[in-house]
Structures are given as C-alpha cells and as structure tokens.
Amino acid sequence: MFYFFDELSSTIDEARDDKYRHGDVVVAEHQTAGRGQRGRVWHSPAGENLMFSVVLDTGFLRSNEQFLLLQAVALGLVDVFVLYGLDARVKWTNDIYIGDRKVVGVLIDHTLGANGMLARSGVGIGINVNQRVFDSALPNPTSMAVELGREVDRGEVLRRACECVMRRVEQLREGDFQREYHSRIYRLDELAEYELANGERFRGTIRGVRPGGGLVVELQDGTVREFLFREVSFVI
C-alpha cells in the first residue's frame, strides 16, 4: 500500500513505524531532513523527483548478509531504467549512475532480530525524475528527464520502481545475484582514479565486489586490495 505525505522529516524515519508492513511504501513530496550516504543531506525540489521508502520483512537474511539486500534493490532499480531504454550502472556501494552521473541514491535502515538475523528493513530511495536544474554544489547529478530529453510520469516511475524492487527481493529468497550484480557495476574492469580517506589518490581497476560488500580493486602494480565502505571514494 502507498502512503503519501506532503512533508516528512524523511521517509525512512517514518517507515520505522510498526504500523507499516512488508511491501508498504512511504512517499513524501518534500523532506525536511532527508539523508544520503556518508551523513549527507538529501535535497530535492518538491514536485520534480521521487523520495520514498519501501518497508521489507528481511528475517530470512542474516545481519552479515545485508549487502545482498542492497544488491537486490540496486538491480531492481536498474531494471526500471531498462524499461525506459536507459543504461544504468550500480556505483558501489549504493548509487545508480547513468554514464558518469548520479540519478538515484539508496539508503537502507535495518532492524535486527534474534540470533544474528535481520528483522525488518526500510529502503530509502531518491530518484531524480524531472529535475533539470541542480545545485552547483552537487558534483555530478542527472535525471531521467535530462537523459531522455522529456518529462516522465512520476507516478508511473514510482509504481514500476516498487514492482521491480519487490520482485528482486522475492528472488533473493531463492539465491543471490552476485554474477548479475557484477555485470552492472559502474567502472568494472576500467582503469580509473580513486581517493583514500586520507586524501591520497591512486589508479586502479575494479574487479568485483565481495558478497560482504568489499570493493575489490587491482592496483597498477598488479596487487589486489579490498576496500570497505568509507575507505575509498571515486574520483569523477
């Protein structure tokens, strides 16, 4: 069921309420405290984009398997763009890119259950749909409208996104998506520049992502390193 709000602090905060059940979707036209990854604030003009959270029962996953859920969500979102003829890629860890520009941000909030299992997850999703003018402080945004050269029906995108994500989550109960996820990784097998948390930059080639979420990068001297979230960032 869809629950629409004119304004919320953030959809993912609202989705924590126990009144929402598996498959429910919380949608806000405006967020006063929307969150992106790395603690950033998520800004979006009212009426142009989509900001919503999908509530999921994730008791079939162990807490150390939570990255598998992110893979399923990311592939579901990629499926949406395929429906519009757009070639989208998954930028580690949880963004969706078209070319070198960000079109979707994802943030997942988990509640732990017993015996090392997850209990419930709120998947916060922000899709740039019809926005054409962006804050100059944003490094590389794009939108569906920019990429397609026309406006898109936000209601249709919302419906399709939820359907695709839920389908992928149900598939996750039967197995993981490691091979398919790899085929959609942004910059896979491409030599590019990256930056460590201390500001040091290096060139390397992404070779894959571990089931636990670690990014596997081959350095130019042939050595292979695995980076965890926040240890390395993309230079774009």
Q: What's the CA gap between 179 and 182, in Å, rounded? A: 5
Domain at 30, CATH number: 3.30.930.10
126/22 same-domain check: yes
Ranges of residues in the chain whose predicted pLDDT is under 70 = 34-44
Prediction pTM value: 0.92
**H-assigned helices in 42-104:** 66-83
Question: Domain of 208?
Answer: 191-234
Per the document, the length of the chain is 236
Instruction: Compute CA distances 112 → 33, 38, 59, 216, whole Å.
Output: 24, 21, 9, 28
> Tokens 């899709």 label which residue?
127
Of the candidates 44, 71, 106, the residue with the CA atom closest to the CA atom of residue 184: 71
Q: What's the CA gap between 70 and 125, in Å, rounded? A: 11
225/133 same-domain check: no
pLDDT at residue 40, as a whole number? 53
pLDDT at residue 45, as a whole number? 75
57/74 same-domain check: yes
pLDDT at residue 32, as a whole number? 86
Instruction: Compute CA distances 51 → 81, 108, 159, 205, whole Å.
Output: 16, 13, 13, 33
Angle between helices 154-172 and 66-83 (to 10 degrees): 140
54/78 same-domain check: yes
User: What sign results for the dihedral spanned by CA atoms 193, 196, 200, 202?
Assistant: negative
| Structural element, H or E, at residue 8 | strand 2-8
* Secondary structure (3-state) at 191: strand
Q: What's the CA gap between 79 and 88, in Å, rounded? A: 9
Q: How many domains does the chain have?
A: 2
111/198 same-domain check: no
pLDDT at residue 38, as a whole number? 47
pLDDT at residue 218, as a whole number? 98
pLDDT at residue 23, as a whole number? 97
36/136 same-domain check: yes
